[in-house]
Amino acid sequence: MNDREAAAVNNMIIVKKLEKTYDNGLIVALNGISFEIRAGEIVAITGPSGCGKSTLLNLIGTLDLPTSGEIWIDGKNMSACHPLHRFRAANIGFIFQFHHLVPSMTIMENVELPMYSLSVPKTVRVQKARQILISMGLAERANFFPTKVSGGERQRAAIARAVANDPKIILADEPTGNLDTDNGEMVMDYLANLCHEKGITLLITTHNPLVATRAGRIINMKNGQIEN
């Protein structure tokens, strides 16, 4: 095992000299980003709109590919990890500002959805989804459609969906940005408690300084680079 592989084993996420450009290099979204995140750590990424926060999360989540640089997750180099969609389904949960729940599916069905990627049997899917919804205080909303529940409940359902496959990492892109203060605090309480109880690594982007203070560490970004 070389030094880089050894370092990857000791950290849940390693980002090394990461660059992302568009339009043949004319637009630079990320410019040489490097950092490491330990397993179970809660890290907030802050910075103005357009600084590259969401781009960074998309790359770590393997939803997009970097122009150059390396991403290691749980000791694995993502450039050599195939198939990526199965790795993503088994290891990474996503939460977005606008929840992205499927409107034509019930809350229960939305929580079951990620388990299809891992071919989880129906009886197991239903039982697991029900238990997660109970833990989220959403048992009575299981058969409701997303449009029939409150904004805070939709975002809690999005958290439930994100943890359906017991991920090692949760990537949350402005998860409280569309909520009022009380619901935002409730969502952060659920996320923080989940991560502490299950040892999940949480990487969260936010404009809200109060949300950022809930993290154990803050990474400030500006113009595609890390400031601190």
Q: Is 79 inside a domain boundary? A: no
> Does residue 119 fall inside a structural domain?
yes
d(CA 42, CA 205): 11
Domain limits for position 122: 40-64+84-226
pLDDT at 194: 85
Q: Is residue 55 part of a domain?
A: yes
Q: Which pair of tokens denotes residue 179?
A: 């909520």
Identity at 208, one-letter amino acid code: N
In a domain, 44, yes or no: yes
- Digit-coded pLDDT (tens) for 65-79: 999 999 999 999 999
The CATH number assigned to the domain holding 53 equals 3.40.50.300
On the question of pLDDT at 228 being above 80, the answer is no
Whether 98 has a pLDDT exceeding 80, the answer reads no
Burial class, 188, CB count within 10 angstroms (exposed 0-12 / middle 13-18 / buried 19+): buried
Beta strands 92-96 and 169-173 are parallel
**Would you say residue 164 lies in a domain?**
yes
Residue range 128-187, pLDDT digits in tens = 999 999 988 899 999 999 999 988 899 889 989 999 999 999 999 888 887 788 878 888
What is the SS3 string spanning 151-164?
A: HHHHHHHHHHHHCC
pLDDT in tens, 28-51: 999 999 999 999 999 999 988 888
pTM of the model as a whole: 0.88
Q: Is residue 108 included in any domain, yes or no? A: yes
- Count of domains in the chain? 1
> Does residue 76 form part of some domain?
no
Is 112 inside any structural domain?
yes
Q: Is 108's pLDDT higher than 90? A: yes
Other CB atoms within 10 Å distance of the CB of residue 114: 23
